[in-house]
Amino acid sequence: MIELSPFIIFYIGALLVLVSQGHVRKVILLVTPLITGLHLWFNLDAGILTTYSIMDYELTAMRTDKLSLLFAYLFCLASFIAGIYSLHVTDTKQHVAGLVYAGSALGAVFAGDLITLFIFWELLAISSVFLIWARGTERAFKAGVRYLLFQVMSGVFLLAGALVYYHNTGSLAFNHIGLNSTAGWLIFIAFGIKAAFPFLHSWLTDGYPEATVTGTVFLSAFTTKVAVYSLARGFAGEEILIYIGVTMACFPIFYAVIENDLRKVLAYSLINQIGFMVTGIGIGTALALNGAVAHAFSDVIFKGLLFMSMGAVLYRAGNINGSDLGGLYKSMPKTTVLCIVGALSISAFPLFSGFVSKSMIMVALMSENYGYLWLLMLFASAGVFHHAGIKIPYFAFFAHDSGIRTKEAPTNMLVAMTIAALLCIFVGTQPQYLYALLPWEVEYWPYDTTHVLVQLQLLFFSALAFVWLNKQGLYPPELHSTNLDVEWLYRKLLPASAQRGIRILQRAKESMMTTATTSMQSIGKTFSRSTMAKYHLSESWPTGSMVFWISIVLVAYLLLDILGT
């Protein structure tokens, strides 16, 4: 058995891509995840521990179990599909960044200690930001800087938490951590930033839509799923995650419905889907955790499919605003069909992948007597169907004839989307194969009459509501607009408040200087008329008097300047 850590294969692949070109580079892009996947399947079993020492610290570079192996399979699959999708790209930095990014995700899920996790946590941030900057626009550059600030902040919290955790326990092992200590809360916040918790999510909706066509596909697969894995590993069963997850599932719906940029709609939808996973982790039962992990697997495939279809639209039409699109089914019929498969999957339509994974979380909620939260998640499910299941394909391909006539997506894009679509259908119709890979024992089957009928009714009435609102002119129109999110606080409010504060301080300084100068002049005039000034100083020390007053004035100005700053 070869106990080689899988991230090494990806890093070697990235180096080879850096020095190669043409068809050789394309082969490396596809062979790297294939070789890694085969290595995982045939050479790595649960229970492997690979340790190394740095100074007096014993660290675990690779720890395998069913949880880490499932995410590793998923990341290899996602990298392979994204690699096919990006074969037409000639930009070296995108290919290198994509492989390093995927390799870092593998390194993170196999990390057995918090320091090793931190190293790959930061490599995820550094490699992924180049997929945003590679677009080459000013908006992309600024969005990338903001994205990187959040990712680095997450790493700072993780490192601080790891050090406090080691101080308290004498161990760096990455197992269940919990929220009963300061270290636990620091690490929890670090994971929460990468998982796009409420108020910490704006890096995702700000950065992902500004990435390159192919970069967004990579981004949708790795960062947030590493966070989901980390939460499942370190904080399973923490009840606060249930409420955070429900909030995440609900609030993005309102933004997604009014958003015009269809890739940004999918970014909000990504947060919505992560909310289901976080809720399952918070419940903490075997059924709920299996549901969270299974839904992470499904989400990477169907969300990747939707991002790929919208990327193909952007690549061919040069636009991704719903208000400017429509009628593209005439030019891009294959992309349209594949997008609809992704829409049905994310909507949890029976026989598609979302149905067999999301249902586990919903059943777990009811089983643990969270009926009122189940209703909120039912609302979230209906909202998903509105903004991702209907809005995305409808406004991109059908809403009205925009007059845009273009070519079908490139062959490599169609191949990647077809693989993802077939996987959505396969997982949805044959869920037992996915269930067999899940970390905990599965005693669940999604296709019972009650659940199928409930889901079909939900989808039917959601579709009916969309049609009625659209016909009545009540559905929010697609408009060129800027929708205010929490990022407004640090992009607009904080800079404006800081500038206003600086202006107030400057005016206060000027007022103090004016008052002090006036007072000094008044004192000087009064003193100049005194007997001492006229006779004693002038007659006794005429030169000294001048030096004395100059010194007083200089000291006064120096003190005012120090106090003013």
DSSP calls for 257-273: HH--BHHHHHHHHHHHH
Give the chain's radius of gyration (CA, Å). Answer: 30
Residue type, 506: Q
CB 257 within 8 A of CB 274: no
Model-level pTM?
0.88
Beta bridge partners of 321: 261
The pLDDT of 329-339, averaged and rounded, is 96
- Crossing angle of helices 182-194 and 114-133, in 10° steps, is 30
Query: Is residue 557 very low, low, confident or very high in pLDDT (cuts 50, 70, 90)?
Result: low
Number of H helices, E strands in the chain: 24, 2
431-441 confidence digits (pLDDT tens)? 999 999 999 99
What per-residue confidence (pLDDT) applies to 563? 56
Query: Is residue 549 very low, low, confident or very high in pLDDT (cuts 50, 70, 90)?
Result: low
What per-residue confidence (pLDDT) applies to 527? 62
Domain residue spans of the chain: 1-234, 236-485, 489-564
